[in-house]
Amino acid sequence: MTQPLALIEVGAIEVGTGRTIEVEGRRYAVFNCDGAFHVIDDSCPHRGGPLGGGYIEGCEVYCPIHGWAFDVRTGACKSNPGRPVRTYSAQVRDGTLWIER
């Protein structure tokens, strides 16, 4: 069974940016991709780089450590298709971004 978790006020994340948010000991990477919010695990499946701090181009984020590219909408890894990152269902309610975990 999933549980809702509030991550951040959406006004804090501008279009085309992302950030790492730690809640209850777990790190999430949150992105504003063309006005839509997407959440993936912050830990890169290669060697744990912080994806929330990666370079963003469109809806792709590039890991700041070795540059693997991920689609923030699907979690697909374009650099190594066998190593996707987990995604979370995200919703905005009353200006706050919530995920199901």
> Which residues contribute to the site for ligand FES (CB under 6 A)?
44, 46-49, 63, 65-68
Cα distance between residue 5 and residue 29, in whole Å: 14
Cα distance between residue 7 and residue 10, in whole Å: 9
Q: Which is nearer to ligand FES, 66 or 78 (CB)?
A: 66
Q: Which residues pair with 39 in a beta bridge?
A: 30, 88
Helix (H), strand (E) at residue 57:
strand 55-57
Q: Which is nearer to ligand FES, 59 or 65 (CB)?
A: 65
Q: Which is nearer to ligand FES, 26 or 66 (CB)?
A: 66
- Smallest distance, ligand FES to C-beta of residue 33, A: 19
